[in-house]
Amino acid sequence: MVLAFLAMGLSLQAQSMEDALKPVTRTYAFTNATIIPQPGQQVTGATIVVKDGLIQAMGTNVSVPANAKVVDADSMFIYAGFIDGLSNAGVPRPEREQNGPSRGRRPDGVNPGDPPRELAGVTPEKQVRGELKHDEKSVEDLRELGFTAAHVVPRGRMLPGKGSIILLAGESGEDMLLAEGVSQFVQFSSAPGVFPATVIGVMAKFTELYKQAEQMQMHMEAYAKNPKGMDRPERNEALEALVPVVNGELPVFFMAPDVKSIYRVMRMQDDLGFDVVMTGVKEAWHVVDELDGKNIPVIVSLELPDPPKEKKKKEGEEEAMDEEMKMLQQRASERMTEFESQAATLAKAGIAFGFSTMEASAKDIRENLRRMIKNGLTEEQALASLTTNPANMLGLSNSMGTLEEGKMGNLVVTDGNYFEEGSNVRFVMADGHLFEYEAKKAAAKGDPNASAKIGGSWAYSVNVPGQTAEGTLKLTQEDGEITGEISNSQSPETTDIEDAVLEGNKLTFLAPIAMGGQSITLEFSIVINGDEMEGTVSVGEFGTFDVEGYREGTPE
Amino acid sequence: MKYSILFALLLFFGVSLQAQTQTGSMLIKNGTVHTVTNGTLENTDILVVDGKIQEIGSNLRAPRGAEEIDATGMHVMPGIIDAHSHIAIDAVNEATNPVTAEVWVGDALDPLDVSIYRALAGGVTASHSMHGSANAIGGECETIKHRYGTYNPNDLRMVGAPRTIKFALGENPMRVHGEGRGIQPATRMGVEQVIRRAFAEAKMYLEAKQKYETARQNGDNTVMPPTYNKRMETLSAILEGDIIIHCHSYRADEIYMLMQVCKDFGVEKLCFQHTNEGFKVAPELAEFGAGASVFADWWAYKFEVYYSTAYNAAILTENGVTTSINSDSGELIRHLYHEAAKTQRYGGLTDEQALALITINPAKQLGIDDRVGSLEEGKDADIAIFNADPLSIYAIPMKTIVDGVVYFDREEDPADMRLDVNPEEVMPAFFQDIQDHKHENCMQDTYMTFEELFRG
Alpha carbon dihedral B407, B45, B21, A257, in 10-degree steps, equals -10
The segment with the largest mean pLDDT, out of A63-67, A497-501, B443-447, is: A63-67
Query: Does A106 reach chain B within 8 Å, measured CB to CB?
Result: yes
Produce one character per residue of B328-354: b if its CB has 16 or more CB atoms within 10 Å, e if not. Answer: bbbebbbbbbbbbbbbeebbebebbbb
For residue A481, tell me if it sits in a domain: yes
Are A370 and A285 in the same domain? yes
In whole angstroms, give the CA distance from residue A389 to residue A339: 21
The pLDDT score that the predictor gives to residue A55 is: 97
**Residue B327 confidence class, pLDDT cut points 50, 70, 90:** very high
Is residue A349's pLDDT more than 70?
A: yes
Q: How far apart are CA B145 and CA B407, in angstroms?
A: 11
Note whether A59 contacts B: Cβ–Cβ < 8 A.
Answer: no
- For residues A415 and A456, membership in a common domain is answered with no
User: Could you tell me if B168 and B247 are in contact, meaning their C-beta atoms sit under 8 angstroms apart?
Assistant: yes
Q: How confident is the model at residue B16 (pLDDT cuts 50, 70, 90)?
A: very low
Q: Can you tell me the distance from the alpha carbon of B145 to that of B126, in angstroms, rounded to the nearest whole number? A: 4
Provide the CB-side half-sphere exposure for B40 (13 A, CA): 16
pLDDT digits over A388-433, tens only? 999 999 999 999 999 999 999 999 999 999 999 999 999 999 998 9
**CA dist B436 → A365, A452, A508, B103, B128 (Å):** 34, 51, 39, 21, 18
Q: Is the CB of residue B423 less than 8 Å away from at least one CB of chain A?
A: yes
Chain A residues within an 8 Å CB radius of B112 = 260
pLDDT of residue A292: 96
What tens digit of pLDDT does each residue of B73-85 get?
A: 999 999 999 999 9
- Same domain? For A421 and A502 the reply is no
Cβ-nearest to A201 among B103, B225, B447 = B103
CA A514 to chain centre: 25
Residue A489's domain is classified under what CATH number?
Answer: 2.40.128.120
A50 plus A122 within the same structural domain = no
Q: A75 and A89, same structural domain?
A: no
Looking at per-residue confidence, does A6 or A466 come out higher?
A: A466
Lowest mean pLDDT among A234-238, A274-278, A448-452, B179-183: A448-452
In this prediction, residues A437-455 reach a mean pLDDT of 74
> What is the C-alpha separation between B87 and B109, in angstroms, rounded?
9
Q: CB neighbours of B366 closer than 8 A, spacing ≥ 6?
A: B81, B83, B128, B143, B161, B162, B164, B244
Question: Hey, are the CB atoms on A196 and B94 less than 8 Å from each other?
Answer: yes
Collect all residues of chain B within an 8 Å Cβ-Cβ radius of residue A196.
Answer: 94, 96, 103
Domain for residue A163, yes or no? yes
Q: Is there a domain that residue A5 lies in?
A: no
List, in sequence order, every residue forming a beta bridge with B77; answer none if it has no partner.
Answer: B384
Report the gap between the CA of B383 and the closest CA in chain A (Å). 28
Q: Please report which confidence band the pLDDT of residue A445 belongs to, taking 50, 70 and 90 as the band edges.
A: low
Q: Please give the average per-residue pLDDT across B82-92, as a whole number.
A: 97
At A316 the pLDDT is 53
pLDDT at B18: 44
Rounded to 5 degrees, what angle do the CA atoms A73, A77, A81 make?
110
Residue A473 lies in a domain: yes
Both A378 and A451 in a single domain? no
- Among candidates A400, A404, A426, A401, which has minimal Cα distance to A413? A426
CATH of the domain at A427: 2.30.40.10
- A168 and A213: one domain? yes
**Which residues in chain A touch residue B98, judged by CB atoms under 8 angstroms apart?**
113
Q: Which of B170, B141, B175, B172 is nearest to B158 (CA)?
A: B141
Taking residues B136-164, what's their average pLDDT? 98
- Predicted confidence at residue B210, as pLDDT, reads 96
Q: What is the pLDDT of residues B265-315, one digit of tens each?
A: 999 999 999 999 999 999 999 999 999 999 999 999 999 999 999 999 999
Please give the Cα distance from A345 to A339 (Å, whole number). Answer: 10
ipTM for the predicted complex: 0.91
Structural domain boundaries, residue A274: 85-93+115-310+322-393
Model confidence at A315, pLDDT cuts 50, 70, 90, reads low
Do the domain assignments include residue A398?
no
In angstroms, the CA A520 to CA A495 distance is: 12
C-alpha distance from residue A95 to each of A91, A98, A100, A543, B121 (Å): 12, 9, 10, 23, 50
Q: Where are the alpha helices (DSSP H) in A375-476?
A: 379-386, 388-393
Output the pTM of the full model: 0.85
Asked if B82 and B327 touch (Cβ cutoff 8 Å), the reply is yes
A306 and A333 within one domain: yes
What per-residue confidence (pLDDT) applies to B14? Answer: 38
Residue B434 clears pLDDT 70, i.e. is over it: no
DSSP-derived 3-state class of residue A112: coil
Looking at A368, A402, A436, which one is the last position of a domain? A436
Over the stretch A121-150, which tens digit does the pLDDT of each residue have? Answer: 999 999 999 999 999 999 999 999 999 999
Angle, CA A478 vertex, CA A474 and CA A482 arms, to 5°: 50
- Taking only the tens place, the pLDDT of each residue in A84-111 is 999 999 999 987 654 545 555 667 788 9
Closest CA to A276 of A261, A121, A342, A340: A261
Structural contact between residues B90 and B116, judged by C-beta atoms closer than 8 angstroms: no
Asked if the Cβ–Cβ distance from B421 to A332 is below 8 Å, we say yes
Same structural domain, A336 and A207? yes
Is the pLDDT at B7 greater than 50, yes or no?
no
pLDDT beyond 80 at A22: no
Statement to judge: residues A146 and A126 lie in one domain: yes
Number of CB atoms found within 10 A of residue A60's CB:
11
> In chain A, how many domains are there?
3
Give the residue from A143, A71, A47 showing the smallest Cα distance to A431: A143
DSSP, residue by residue, A136-202: -HHHHHHHHTTEEEEEE----SSB-EEEEEEES--SSHHHHEEEEEEEEEE-----SSSSS-SHHHH
Average pLDDT score over residue span A525-548: 82
Q: Are strands A467-478 and A481-488 parallel, antiparallel or unpaired?
A: antiparallel
Tell me whether residue A458 is in a domain. yes
Mean pLDDT rounded to a whole number for chain A: 89
Residue B435 has pLDDT above 70, yes or no: no
pLDDT of residue B401: 98
Q: What is the pLDDT of residue A151?
A: 98
pLDDT at B344: 98
CB A517 within 8 A of CB A525: no
What are the phi and psi torsion angles at B270 (to 5°)? Answer: -145, 130
Choose one of A393, A418, A453: the last residue of a domain: A393
Distances from the Cα of A330 to the Cαs of A336, A343, A368, A371, B416, in angstroms? 10, 22, 21, 18, 11
Residues A155-209: tens digit of each pLDDT: 999 999 999 999 999 999 999 999 999 999 999 999 989 999 999 999 999 999 9
Q: Is A109 a domain residue? A: no
Q: Which of A106-115, A359-368, B25-34, B105-114 has the lowest mean pLDDT?
A: A106-115
A454 within a domain of the structure (yes/no): yes
Burial class of residue B72 (count of CB atoms within 10 Å of its CB; 0-12, 13-18, 19+): exposed
Q: Least CB-CB distance to B421: which of A198, A219, A335? A: A335
Q: Does B11 touch chain A (CB under 8 A)?
A: no
Q: What are phi and psi of A177, to 5 degrees?
A: -70, 125
Per-residue model confidence (pLDDT) at position B453: 47
Can you tell me the distance from the alpha carbon of A53 to that of A410, in angstroms, rounded to the nearest whole number?
8
Domain identity same for A76 and A89: no
CATH number, domain at A170? Answer: 3.20.20.140
Task: Report the chain B residue with the minimal C-alpha distance to residue A108.
Answer: B181
Chain B CB contacts of A272 under 8 Å are none
Torsion of CA B15, A215, B100, B257, to 10 degrees: -100
Q: Identify whether residues A479 and A426 lie together within a single domain.
A: no
